[in-house]
């Protein structure tokens, strides 16, 4: 395994599960949330925040968005809500953004309260840190042979990830292989022999997906295919967009879900579902349950 992978977020842990893959021709169709995202951006650029807010929610709900688009959605949802005085909903969205990238900046459209709410959200999520995903892949693979890659996800963020997916794509032949597995600290996935064509150059990407197939984090490696045996490489651990803040060690090592900070922020990631009831709050005492708050109304 080698260092130097390109990633949206990174980290590594242990325990392995396996998944199989199949090969298909690559698709050029856009994600389901792309049309709403384009409309949301257009409305935002025109200053029509009332129009942009439900469109960003729709984009996140329809899903399939890349990590940067997901981050944009939550930051702008938080900013729009801050601009109209929706404190709790703004903080919930900013918490979701902080989980993806604690280094996010607040746009001026959020108004004077935006930075204040964002700062609180970042404090609330500081014990958890930003999501970290990494990939280990061989530097080279043998022609006509399958090979395995390992995706590592930090333990604290497993509750918000629905599954780990893999996409291996050969740009020359347009062949593509995909695989999926349940989220765990370490997941082993297989790239099948269908795509290991002679002299191919594969881009192998792993994604941490939410329920709507939004990519909360991604990491990728390039694997060259030749006739020789696969080479090994060190574990690539790369963070893009700035290093995430250190998470509380006790939270990452274990403890019950309800004893962790997750009940205070999980609602932020469920915010995309218009009309759903989600958990979020303002860090109540340990003996106080977090209530459910609807997010349909702005």
Smallest CA-to-CA distance from 10 within 110, 157, 145 is with 157
| pLDDT tens readout for residues 102-123 | 999 999 999 999 999 999 999 9
* Pair (148, 276) in one structural domain: no
Instruction: Give the global pTM.
Output: 0.72
Choose the final residue of a domain: 226, 246, 271: 226
Cα 87 from Cα 78, distance rounded (Å): 9
* Pair (47, 118) in one structural domain: yes
* Pair (124, 136) in one structural domain: no
Check whether 20 has a pLDDT greater than 50: no
| Residue 95 pLDDT | 94
CATH number of the domain bearing residue 154: 2.60.40.2550
* Pair (18, 141) in one structural domain: yes
Cα 210 from Cα 258, distance rounded (Å): 20
Check whether 140 has a pLDDT greater than 50: yes
Choose the final residue of a domain: 178, 199, 226: 226
| Residue 173 pLDDT | 86
- Domain assignment present for residue 16? The answer is yes
- Domain assignment present for residue 85? The answer is yes
- Domain assignment present for residue 252? The answer is no
| Residue 185 pLDDT | 97
* Pair (191, 109) in one structural domain: no
| Residue 9 pLDDT | 38
- Domain assignment present for residue 55? The answer is yes
Cα 125 from Cα 267, distance rounded (Å): 12
| Residue 133 pLDDT | 97
Cα 287 from Cα 285, distance rounded (Å): 6
* Pair (46, 118) in one structural domain: yes
- Domain assignment present for residue 10? The answer is yes
Check whether 262 has a pLDDT greater than 60: no
Residue 171: band (very low, low, confident or very high) from pLDDT cuts 50, 70, 90:
confident
| Residue 213 pLDDT | 95
Check whether 100 has a pLDDT greater than 90: yes
* Pair (216, 137) in one structural domain: yes
| Residue 244 pLDDT | 39
* Pair (47, 123) in one structural domain: yes
- Domain assignment present for residue 287? The answer is yes
**pLDDT, average across residues 32-60:** 97
Phi, psi for 87 (deg, rounded to 5): -60, -55
* Pair (142, 125) in one structural domain: no
In a 3-state reduction of DSSP, which class is residue 189?
Answer: strand
Sequence-ordered list of residues with C-beta below 8 angstroms from that of 286, at least 6 positions apart, any chain:
none
| Residue 172 pLDDT | 84
| Residue 29 pLDDT | 60
| Residue 286 pLDDT | 30
* Pair (101, 40) in one structural domain: yes
Residue 168: band (very low, low, confident or very high) from pLDDT cuts 50, 70, 90:
very high
| Residue 227 pLDDT | 72
Q: What is the number of structural domains in the chain?
A: 2
Please answer whether residues 234 and 3 qualify as being in contact, where contact means their C-beta atoms are separated by less than 8 angstroms. yes
| % of the chain at pLDDT higher than 70 | 66
Q: How does the average pLDDT of the chain come out, rounded?
A: 75
- Domain assignment present for residue 232? The answer is no
Range of the domain at 57: 34-129+262-294
Check whether 261 has a pLDDT greater than 50: no
How many CA within 13 A on the CB side of residue 257? 7
| Residue 28 pLDDT | 46
**pLDDT, average across residues 112-138:** 95
* Pair (49, 99) in one structural domain: yes
| % of the chain at pLDDT higher than 90 | 62
């Amino acid at each position: 395994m080698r260092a130097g992978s390109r990633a949206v977020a990174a980290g590594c842990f242990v325990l392995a599960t396996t998944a199989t893959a199949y090969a298909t021709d690559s698709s050029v169709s856009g994600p389901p949330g792309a049309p709403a995202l384009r409309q949301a951006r257009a409305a935002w650029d025109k200053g029509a925040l009332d129009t942009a807010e439900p469109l960003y929610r729709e984009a996140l709900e329809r899903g399939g968005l890349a990590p940067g688009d997901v981050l944009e959605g939550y930051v702008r949802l938080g900013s729009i809500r801050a601009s109209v005085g929706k404190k709790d909903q703004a903080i919930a969205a900013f918490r979701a953004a902080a989980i993806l990238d604690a280094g996010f900046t607040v746009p001026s459209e959020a108004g004077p309260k935006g930075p204040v709410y964002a700062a609180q959200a970042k404090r609330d999520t500081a014990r958890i840190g930003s999501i970290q995903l990494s990939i280990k892949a061989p530097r080279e693979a043998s022609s006509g042979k399958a090979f395995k890659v390992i995706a590592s996800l930090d333990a604290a963020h497993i509750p918000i990830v629905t599954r780990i997916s893999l996409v291996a794509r050969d740009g020359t032949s347009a062949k593509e292989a995909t695989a999926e597995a349940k989220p765990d600290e370490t997941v082993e996935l297989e790239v099948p022999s269908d795509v290991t064509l002679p002299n191919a150059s594969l881009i192998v990407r792993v994604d941490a997906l939410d329920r709507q197939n939004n990519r909360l984090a991604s990491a990728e490696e390039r694997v060259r295919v030749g006739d020789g045996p696969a080479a090994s490489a060190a574990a690539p651990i790369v963070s893009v967009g700035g290093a995430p803040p250190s998470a509380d060690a006790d939270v990452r090592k274990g403890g019950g879900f309800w004893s962790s900070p997750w009940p205070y922020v999980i609602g932020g990631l469920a915010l995309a579902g218009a009309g759903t009831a989600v958990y979020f709050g303002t860090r109540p005492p340990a003996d106080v349950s977090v209530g459910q708050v609807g997010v349909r109304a702005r």
